[in-house]
Amino acid sequence: MKRLLSADQATQGTIVDDIRGHAVRAPHAPAIVTQRAVISYRELTDRIERLARTLAAAGVGAESRCAVAVEDDVHAVIAMAAVMRAGGAFLTLDPGQPVQRLHAMAAGVDTRFQITTAALAGRLALPIGGPAILIDDLGGTAGATLPAHVPPRSLAYISHTSGSTGTPNPVMIEHGGLGAYLRFIVADGGLGPHTAALQLAPFGYDASIRGVFAPLAAGGRLILLPRSTLLRPAALAAAVEDHGVNAILSSTPTLLTALAQDEDVAARLGGVGLILCAGESLRPFLSAGGRRLTAGRLVNHYGPTECTITSTRHDVPPRPDTEADLIGTPIDGVTVRLLDPGMRAVPDGATGEIYIGGAGVARGYGGRPALTAQRFVPDPCGPPGARLYRTGDLARRGPGGVLEFLGRDDRQVKIRGYRVEPAEVEGALLGHPAVTGAVVTSAADERGRVHLVAHVMGALAGVTDAALRAHLALTLPPHLMPRRFHRLETMPTTHSGKTDRTALLAHAPAHAGPGA
């Protein structure tokens, strides 16, 4: 089905072209700042061009899928940009995730190339038939020609979501949608050469793409620090002061809540003029008085991976409404429709399912035509060829067109900013030889933080929670790990024979089981 792009989106080039423009205008301006070095825009662009030419010489071009598996954050930034500069599409893999999961992600989208290091190439042994380009041993400069123009409908990156079948779903995002989105973030956030943005989201998740490329597209400074610093509130606050951070573009309510717990930490963040928050409901954080964390702008973003990171935004006022989960209005170039089960628009104030259209809508799921057809549907109210992504989220439209999020109409939940299919965890649990039945539900603790509860049956008398977690860790990342395990002799069912999830939650203990 044809995707619609504006004339501007078709002629602006990729986001890497924006970075190259800053290298021409201000070659000595700092682009990336780490604990060890400061990299100028000229040096950054030179390193991107060098790797891009190496990739092009190896055969990377339009629609080429290239896995990026590196541990150094600077290497990750250069690799992602170089793949786009060569006209290809990147799939960023977090080497800290289970190797089996990384193999499934790389194999599921027909990845033919990889950028990695000598050490990781042997340890990960990704199932990729094409060449491995070692970013720590590039050798001489390659002489391959790079494309003068990358078509906006060319694939830019692939990001995975949790899948109900037990296999992550690969989402295919094009250059036109990515460029339009990042340029909106730059304009809406007032980003520019004055910006010093601290990158918080782990590489391998789509929020990191905003956190990395929005400040670079604006000509600002990207601050990259070790995870050990970012995960300790006091150390993070000290880094904010030391580096003059004035923007955080990839935060979650869970992280903001952790920072707000310490009065000294919260006070030291006063110089941050812009915080973009996404991935979870912001309402618990606001209800706990968290808005005081920043004297500047706090912007709540909402949107699925399938629509290029986020689709709506809401500027949270100094005295926010804590009775509603407000996600705001659509960003530039995005359409949000609230439809009933018959695909008819619901009136303002009525509950409808969120359907998203516009430039950011993904091409679909790689290798999943049936799922793509189910979730990406024709827009009944749009021009011929227009598509909508069916989110499964519910909302209603209030005064001024502001959307209020009302939850989901299926089983998906958000855990620390990541979208989770409980069925994926259930499938992994059933792979344990002692487990004969498994149902995963979600719950919230006293601070409003959502977590998973695993209800399991089987010969589990000698199987500890730690053993179950070790089994799950072979294939699942940390955000899919249940906090509690509830052992059962039989699963409660409804009158129709389906699992009674309400009964499961009502009878699940509030503490972990044996051997936790």
- Flag whether pLDDT at 6 surpasses 70: no
- Nearest residue to 52 via CA among 21, 78, 91: 78
SS3 420: strand
Q: How far apart are CA 365 and CA 363, in angstroms?
A: 7
Residues in the chain, how many?
A: 516
pTM of the model: 0.83
Share of residues in the chain with pLDDT > 90 (%): 62
State how far Cα 175 lies from the chain centre: 17
* DSSP E strand boundaries for 36-88: 38-40, 65-68
Give the range among 8-22, 68-82, 171-185, 318-332 with minimum mean pLDDT: 8-22
Distance CA 171, CA 367 (A): 10
SS3 call for 138 = coil
Domain spanning 7-399, CATH class: alpha beta
What SS3 string covers 382-394?
CCCCCEEEEEEEE
Q: Would you state the pLDDT for residue 494?
A: 58
Among 243, 190, 244, CA closest to 219: 190
| Closest C-alpha to 53, from 88, 90, 9 | 88
Contact of 442 with 434, CB cutoff 8 Å: no
* Domain locations in the chain as residue ranges: 7-399, 421-507
d(CA 32, CA 254): 26
The rounded distance, in Å, linking the Cα atoms of 301 and 399 is 19
Dig out the tokens for 51 from the structure. 């790797």
Per-residue confidence (pLDDT) for residue 422, from 0 to 100: 82
- Residues 152 and 154: their CA atoms lie apart, in Å, by 5
pLDDT at 496: 44
- Do residues 310 and 327 lie in contact, with contact meaning Cβ atoms separated by under 8 Å? no
119/510 Cα distance (integer angstroms): 43
| pLDDT (0 to 100) of residue 154 | 95
Q: What do you get for the CA distance between the two ends of the chain, in Å? A: 50
Give 140-166 pLDDT, tens digit per residue. Answer: 655 688 998 999 999 999 999 876 666
Q: Contact 93/102 with Cβ under 8 angstroms?
A: yes
pLDDT in tens, 392-434: 999 999 999 999 998 776 667 878 778 787 878 887 888 899 9
Which residues, at least 6 apart from 182, have a Cβ–Cβ distance to it below 8 Å?
Answer: 15, 209, 210, 213, 214, 217
pLDDT tens digits, 456-493:
988 899 999 999 999 999 989 888 999 999 998 887 86
Please report the pLDDT score of residue 8 as a whole number. 47
Percent of the chain scoring above 70 in pLDDT: 92
CA dist 133 → 130, 146, 157, 309 (Å): 10, 17, 18, 28
Please say whether the beta carbons of 314 and 329 come within 8 A. Answer: yes
Q: What is the 3-state secondary structure (H, E, C) of 453-483?
A: EEEEEECCCCCCHHHHHHHHCCCCCHHHCCC
Both tokens of residue 122?
């042997």
| Sequence-ordered list of residues with C-beta below 8 angstroms from that of 506, at least 6 positions apart, any chain | none
Asked if residue 13 has pLDDT above 50, the reply is yes
Angle ∠(441,445,450) on CA atoms, nearest 5:
50
Give the strand order in the sheet containing 484-487. 435-444, 450-458, 484-487
What is 421-507's CATH number?
A: 3.30.300.30
| pLDDT of residue 9 exceeding 50 | no
pLDDT digits over 241-279, tens only?
999 999 999 998 878 877 877 788 888 888 899 999 998
Mean pLDDT across the chain, nearest whole number? Answer: 88
- pLDDT value at residue 3: 42
Q: Pick the residue with more confidence: 300 or 141?
A: 300
Confidence of residue 131 (pLDDT cuts 50, 70, 90): confident
Looking only at the bridges linking them, the beta strands covering 352-358 and 334-339 are antiparallel
Q: Residue 71 above 90 pLDDT?
A: yes
